[in-house]
Structure 1
Amino acid sequence: MSRRSTSAWLHTAIYWFLGFEFFVGFATKFWPGPTFFGPAYSEKFAEWGLDPNMRFVVGALELIAAVLLVIPRRQTRFVGAAMLVLVLTGAVTTHIIDDGAIYEEVSAPLHLAIMFVVALVNWPADWRAVVPLRNRMMSR
């Protein structure tokens, strides 16, 4: 296996792992009862002073971003990572205000830093490359 193919394989594996992590996040947000992370997310969101149904919005954003991360295009990975930067900024803020478990206090900021790096790595050379449909319409 050449060095380049090993590197490409490793990058793909990292994106799939991150996508899987956020897919699990989506699944636990939609799960009606307790999860392996503790009580049901409807209870957690209510505890944090949020509408319990917001878990569906956050879970859906995590699912969309997870799918975008595994698509092997820089633009989609950038959009997925940027979405997660926004979602995780809310999570970090929530966990700073709330005195939660240590894994919650560490996990959200760690994932925020990782997604920030992923967004930077996939940053488009031209911002218009993120929305290619609009580019085609503008060039006519």
Structure 2
Amino acid sequence: MRAWLYCRVTNGWDADSRDHLALQKAELERFCAEHDLTVAGATMVTGSGKKELQELVHSGVEQDTYDVLVGISATRFGGDILSLLQTGKALTEQGKGICMVRENISTHPDIVLQNASETLESQEIGGLSL
């Protein structure tokens, strides 16, 4: 399955922003490797990213460049829940999904993420919590 990485910071293209974008990208690449996702590309954005995200969703659907759009957190996909839901809906209607790594949420039916309670259970050994 093909993943497109979406990395965004709110400030400009200074050294700190480039570092934060690089860290986001590295974490998303690790996530994809752990979940057998092939990285098809990446978009690096500063500012609100609203226009870039809309273009990425449109072109991803139109050109079929990815199956799932992967971001570090729901906050990277927009400043409000309505925008996030609209993006998720637009992708789902086209058989694609959105994945928010830190929240452990995926809307793609073929990507099953372990929820927080399962993670805690897997850390228990012999009735003792680690």
Same-fold call, TM cutoff 0.5: no
Class of the TM-score when normalised by the shorter of the 2 chains: 0.3 to 0.5
Could you tell me the TM-score, scaled by structure 2's length? Answer: 0.37
Higher helix share: 1
Q: Which has the higher contact order (CA 8 A, sep 6+)?
A: 2
**Structure 1 or 2: larger strand share?**
2
Calculate the TM-score normalised by the size of structure 1: 0.35
